[in-house]
Structure 1
Amino acid sequence: MSDLQKSFARQKFDNLPIDPPLPPNANMLEQEDRDSSSASSISSTGTIRPGPGQGLARKRPDANSESYSPVPWHSFFTTTLKLSWVHSPFIYHAYYTPPITPEAPLFVLHHGAGCSGLSFAACVSHLKAIAPDIGILAADARGHGETQFRPEYGDEELTDGKLNMSLERLADDLEAVIELLKKDAGWEHLPNIVLIGHSLGGAVVTEVAMRGKFGRKVLAFAVLDVVEGSAMDALRSMNAYLAARPQVFPSLEAGIEWHLRSRTIRNLDSARISVPSYLKPLASSDGQTTKYEWVTDLAYTSPYWNDWFGGMSRKFLEARGGKLLLLAGTDRLDKELMIGQMQGKYQLQVLPEAGHFIQEDVPEKTAHLLIEFWKRNDGSLLVLPPKVGSAGN
């Protein structure tokens, strides 16, 4: 077993001591023990699981302290959209804030496996604070969030009764969402686009950039905390991890608490926004008590894991446009990307204070890096010095 595999296994399955209660007004969990950061490049919910004694049935914060109560989406996006072609098997659900000016770009955000568009919500608030004119589109992928599947129009999307979750289909969906937004907004032409993907979303935006369907409209693309090498290594442990994590939560607050105590997400403010969209109600046998289960059954996506990440490094390096790789640790780089970095083929930024959910753990810093990345790759923002002998001479 390689050092990387040993590190991954230790992160996923070592028991932790019982945590003390979260302190009131702790917006960000302490960043000690950075070696235990969630390193899974497959599941966006991969992290340390709580050890014995770390159950969720502990006393909740009182009403006067900072709680685990959910925060609604509308503080972060202007509206939600339901986008679909006539007789399409999918009604895509997306969170959207339109660009203010025709020159402003559209940031298209794709979440990781098991998550939703709201995994970017905390980061979006900082993106808009820094660059108020930009547009934001964050869709829920098929089988995630509130995107709906209509089997009466899409039998071909099912394999043994399960949704086709191949990378090809996920990339088709993202392209469809962009085209549908263009139609819905009444745009004659698409604005300039910056693609940003976290974990599985990084593989999807890389595939879309590689295809080149939108040509030069895609200024650049950014991949958050996923590389082919570490993702493929992580596959060996994923089924065991998924079997070990809680399958049902007694409340949304309990789900939020678990994500924080397990250090899946380290930012309480972000977890209160995003985690409720990862869960759905599950009526109990008495028909009265409601519990919550995962929206996405990640175990059934296992046949697609190799497809998601195989060849990703090559595509990332070969796709047109500016490229940013934003990682929580340099140990995630594989050989192909190390060589590409030495050759200056892409921009690399490491945020060791974050876990796997970079955009949730350090949303403000992530936003600043993404805005700088966009400006660096948008030629229209370049201000050239005046020619010698111009006005004034």
Structure 2
Amino acid sequence: MSELQRAWARQKVAIPGDRFGEVDEEQEVDFVPELPEHAEHPDDDSSSASSVSSTGTIIPSPTQRLFARPQGVSRGKNLEQIPWTTYFERELYLSPETNPGLTYHAYLTSPTEKGPLFVMHHGAGSSGLSFALVGSEIRKRLPNAGILSIDCRGHGLTTTPNGTELDLRLDTLSSDLHATIELAKAKMGWRQLPPIMLVGHSLGGAVVTDLAKTGLLGAALLGYAVLDVVEGSAMDALQSMQTYLSTRPAGFSSLQTGIEWHVRTRTLRNSTSARTSVPGLLARDEHADTSRPWRWRTNLAATQPFWEDWFVSLSKKFLEARGGKMLLLAGTDRLDTELTIGQMQGKYALQVFPEAGHFIHEDLPERTAVTLVDFYRRNDRSTLVLPPKVSDLLAQGKRV
């Protein structure tokens, strides 16, 4: 359409000049463009599975792209395994002399220059690789920090004598964690334990709290952080655990299929973390169905006799153990009465990430790392400036 024709039409239909081009463009377009792929973002919280959006009112906005393709794994998305060497310095196989046949497996990046050691304990069904990303993010912000992430018995690559792999009592797991720390100290030739920050997710939160309560780490323990588990909600969730387990696939055709399932179901909301941690959850079973040879390393259903033991009295121990205390949750609805009162009294630090799922540290590794590093710095005794001793002042001839 020429400028003369545009001017004539503008006069006839009284369309303002700044709108005429839009109308003309709409009339000339005779096709619907291909809908773009929905880009996945590690911190995406738009799913109704989100802990904050599942019951809330959804208000459409121009940026929500309501007619885009359904969320999931984009076509052509890389789901290849990321090796553990990307995030850790070495892996350790630690065998206590007092228990032949038991070998603890852990991933380690050593601390340097008197830096702290973050000791990580995963949840039920997971492995030490669950903390790969958050450990890497911690070191970006605290380069002298070390990361020790363990596989507890019955999980990952830790092996036990026949018949003891399912001894998952809380005191057994707590003793295993302490033994792993001491064996790592001996293996690495540390003269003394570095300052320690215990970090535990779900079941791991119960384990690190129990170890902190025993006092076995002495003055080396600066504090402990518990990720998304409190006694009240954990005990309630146990009632539906078997139902959840029955909905999981029994196996997968490949590691990539297992990774894809975790991302598609939003069990893990960060595909990079899934590519790192999911391979630690699966093992190839040559005797299984050839169409789905990759099976779960841990039979979670068989651990049911220990579930209540893990979480009973957790809130009480969390508040009473010595050292700094932090609780990271995916929603404040998880707080029980005892912890609510303790939080109001300032007995521990509380951080809530409502956009994360249960695996806070995998969904939001950067933000979790920032929180843990800040927590360490608030409890770092090496930065304390103590007043001079009275005896020293007197020796200097000063009046006190």
What does 1:126-137 correspond to in 2, within 5 Å? 126-137=137-148
Task: Name the Cα RMSD after superposition.
Answer: 2.3
Partner of 1:43: none
Displacement after TM superposition at 1:235 (Å): 1.0
Identity across matched positions, percent: 53
Distance 1:66 1:347, change over 3 A: same
Q: Which runs of 4+ in 1 moved over 4 A?
A: 21-25, 59-62, 383-386
Distance 1:22 1:202, change over 3 A: farther
Determine the C-alpha separation between the residues in 1 that align with 2:125 and 2:178: 20
Partner of 2:171: 168
Which residue identity does 1:183 align to in structure 2?
A
Contact 2:227–2:360, Cα closer than 8 Å, also in 1: yes
For the pair 1:31 / 2:75, whether they are aligned, the reply is no
For the pair 1:180 / 2:183, whether they are aligned, the reply is yes
Determine the C-alpha separation between the residues in 2 that align with 1:258 and 1:292: 13
Determine the C-alpha separation between the residues in 2 that align with 1:174 and 1:248: 29
Determine the C-alpha separation between the residues in 1 that align with 2:90 and 2:43: 30
Partner of 1:227: 230
Contact 1:34–1:353, Cα closer than 8 Å, also in 2: no
Distance 1:22 1:75, change over 3 A: farther
For the pair 1:363 / 2:365, whether they are aligned, the reply is yes
Partner of 1:237: 240
Partner of 1:267: 270
Which residue identity does 2:172 align to in structure 1?
R
Distance 1:251 1:279, change over 3 A: same
Determine the C-alpha separation between the residues in 1 that align with 2:387 and 2:182: 38
Unaligned runs of 5+ in 1: 1-20, 39-58, 387-393
Partner of 1:377: 379
Determine the C-alpha separation between the residues in 2 that align with 1:230 and 1:133: 36
Displacement after TM superposition at 1:382 (Å): 3.6
What does 1:199-348 correspond to in 2, within 5 Å? 199-283=202-286, 291-348=293-350
Distance 1:273 1:24, change over 3 A: farther
What does 1:71-90 correspond to in 2, within 5 Å? 71-86=82-97, 87-90=99-102
Distance 1:369 1:60, change over 3 A: closer
Which residue identity does 1:84 align to in structure 2?
S
Residues 278-330 of structure 1, C-alpha deviation per residue, up to 9 Å, x if partnerless?
011022568x7662111000001000000000000000000000000000000
Unaligned runs of 5+ in 2: 1-34, 53-71, 389-400
State TM-score, norm by structure 2: 0.79
Displacement after TM superposition at 1:149 (Å): 1.4
Which residue identity does 1:32 align to in structure 2?
S
Contact 2:122–2:200, Cα closer than 8 Å, also in 1: yes
Higher relative contact order by CA 8 Å / sep ≥ 6: 1 or 2? 1
- Is 377-386 or 121-130 further displaced after alignment? 377-386
Determine the C-alpha separation between the residues in 2 that align with 1:207 and 1:128: 26
Which residue identity does 2:109 align to in structure 1?
T
**What secondary structure, in the 3-state scheme, does the structure 1 residue paired with 2:106 have?**
strand
Displacement after TM superposition at 1:79 (Å): 0.5
Match of 1:99 among 111, 126, 144: 111
Contact 1:34–1:352, Cα closer than 8 Å, also in 2: no
The alignment of Structure 1 onto Structure 2 pairs a total of residues equal to 334
Looking at CA atoms only, which structure, 1 or 2, has the larger radius of gyration? 2
Match of 1:354 among 353, 356, 361: 356
Contact 1:61–1:67, Cα closer than 8 Å, also in 2: no
**What secondary structure, in the 3-state scheme, does the structure 2 residue paired with 1:107 have?**
strand
